[in-house]
Amino acid sequence: MPIIGEFSELYLFPNGLFITIQLAVVSLLGSLVLGTVIALFRISPLVPLRWLGGGYVEFFRNTPLLVQLFFLYFATPYIGIYLGEPDTFGFRAAALGLTLYHAAYVAEIVRGGLLAVDKGQIEAARSLGLSYLGMLREVQLPQTFRAVIPPLGNIAIALVKNTSLAATIGVADLLFAGDIVESRTFRAEEAYAAVAVLYLSLTIPLGLLVNYLEKRMIVAR
Amino acid sequence: MRGSLKTAAVALAALFVVAACGGGAGTGTPAASASAATGTAVTSTRPKLELSSYAYGIQTKGKLRVGTREDNVPFGVKNVATSKFEGFDVDIAREIAKAIFGNEPDIDKFIEYVPVVSATRIPTLNENKADFVIATFTINEDRKKQIDFSDVYFNTGQKILVKKDNTTIKDVKDLNGKRVCSAKGSTSEKNITAAAPQATLELQDTYPPCLILLQQGRVDAVSTDETILFGLVKQDPNTKIVGAYFSAEPYGIGVKQNKNNDRNGFVDLINRTLVAMIQDGRWAKSYKQWITPVSGDEKKTPDQR
């Protein structure tokens, strides 16, 4: 009976892993898009856009992610915002929180990459008759993304690990599965070792992917 | 120094006796009726204990290490204003200390409080950081494999908390098809699944977040030990407790297992103290002080339903 009782909890790990992957993919894509937009705001010729971008980065980078998640999960209904039905609320709050937080970091990295592109190229593109947006799309952004792949890889790995904070707002992710297995079996060492190994199974391949992309981009350059 | 302390103790003791005689039954101050209830004259002499018993060692060292909670209203709470521990569990711990050190006027001088949380209760005992743990500790078979328990000193069970205007949830069966909040990995969570398999569980780390979700209408009910629900109702009077108990949660005092004869007679001493407390009314008095304000009932013994 104890053996069966313990193994009966194991289904929780694949379920939790699946939720963690979903959360990481959604938040990573979201923060890449949002972060790039914020970075463009920050180098925009329009002053109000620069202020908006700067304010965004300072706010989300300088408050703890856990506080942001608690706010989104517990406080938003009080100000009339419902992120979803009760059964989807937790996942959406976690995905939104992770996106907003990591977009601030992505924005800073992309901004650095944009500024690193040689001024001469930008001037050349504009003098050839490209509009500002055309120049961004054809000249400045492609070079930027090549340069920022290693730091973006770091952010992606940090994001995968930070998804574990979603367990604190009731999202049944990988850490949540570990918590439940631990409390039912009293075997903390096995439960959390399994959780750590499963996180590694996500972050190590991600790191290898980043290395591969980095090498390919250098060849292309 | 020691002499003047003793004098002070005797003077205080005399005061108590005078107050107890003058006040008459039931009208004395709480302190006075406490010493009157014990029925013994207050002295600073130590009770005689078996030399081979664990309690004798504690008496010699002069400190009893009590593991309890700091934030568990109304059982074990650290009062932020006075930084003293108080509550139903703390009252019982003090009576056990008196069984070892005698009827000292300031028994807290002989107690070292070791703060615990749910997950650290068993390790605190097995790593010998406390002599016993009294912290709304449910006696169950899994735990009995790892530690020893005293007799039951408090009985509660699981019930359901809903909004006051809810008329559809009256019993645990009504939770089927509803969203129910409970603590992640708790026995409460398992009890809900067993009693209402169609209920959808929303699991949080503690119960205050569950109350927020109930207030916002994101869950239909919160379910756990009635004693915890009492605390939530006190926080939000727009909620109510419904249904009958659908689990039994008998609380006991945890002690390290006497495997190497290093806890000789300790559980017995605790059990004798509990029996005496129930017989002479000290248990009922603590119940009335701490539990009655939240439960509205009065009990003379833990078995009374």
B158-174: average pLDDT: 95
Provide the whole-model pTM: 0.74
A99-125: average pLDDT: 95
Q: Could you tell me the pLDDT band of residue B22, with boundaries at 50, 70 and 90?
A: very low
The yes-or-no verdict on residue B226 having pLDDT over 80 is: yes
Share of chain A above pLDDT 70, in %: 95
CB burial class (10 A; 0-12, 13-18, 19+) of residue B7?
exposed
DSSP string of A161-178, one letter each residue: HHGGGGGGGT---HHHHH
- CA B43, CA A95: separation in Å to the nearest integer? 65
> Does A180 sit within 8 Å of B185, measured CB to CB?
yes
pLDDT score of B44: 56
Instruction: Please give the mean pLDDT across all residues of chain B.
Output: 86
CB burial class (10 A; 0-12, 13-18, 19+) of residue B3?
exposed
Query: Nearest-5° angle of CA A91, CA B206, CA B223?
Result: 95
Q: Could you tell me the pLDDT band of residue A36, with boundaries at 50, 70 and 90?
A: very high
- CA B140, CA B287: separation in Å to the nearest integer? 23
pLDDT score of A20: 97
Residue B94: strand, helix, or coil: helix
A21-43: average pLDDT: 97
Contact between A201 and A47 (Cβ < 8 Å): no
Alpha helices per DSSP H over chain B: 2-23, 30-38, 54-61, 88-101, 121-126, 141-144, 187-195, 207-215, 226-235, 266-279, 282-286, 292-295
Chain A residues inside the 8 Å CB shell of B179: 86-87
* β-pair partners for B113: B66
Q: Say which of A77, A86, A168 has its CB closest to residue B205.
A: A168
> Does B209 sit within 8 Å of A74, measured CB to CB?
yes
φ and ψ of B241, to 5 deg: -100, 130
Q: How many CB pairs under 8 A join A and B?
A: 35
The yes-or-no verdict on residue B15 having pLDDT over 90 is: no
A48 Cβ contact partners less than 8 Å away, ≥ 6 residues apart = none
B59 Cβ contact partners less than 8 Å away, ≥ 6 residues apart = B46, B47, B49, B100, B101
Question: Taking the mean position of all CA atoms in its chain, how far away is CA A147?
Answer: 19
> Does B184 sit within 8 Å of A183, measured CB to CB?
yes
Out of A28-32, A159-163, A181-185, B234-238, pick the least confident. A181-185
pLDDT score of A146: 87
Question: Using only C-alpha atoms, what is the Rg of chain A?
Answer: 21
ipTM surpasses 0.90: no
Taking only the tens place, the pLDDT of each residue in A158-190 is 999 999 999 999 999 999 999 888 887 778 889
Q: Could you tell me the pLDDT band of residue B175, with boundaries at 50, 70 and 90?
A: very high
Q: Could you tell me the pLDDT band of residue B20, with boundaries at 50, 70 and 90?
A: very low
The yes-or-no verdict on residue A41 having pLDDT over 50 is: yes
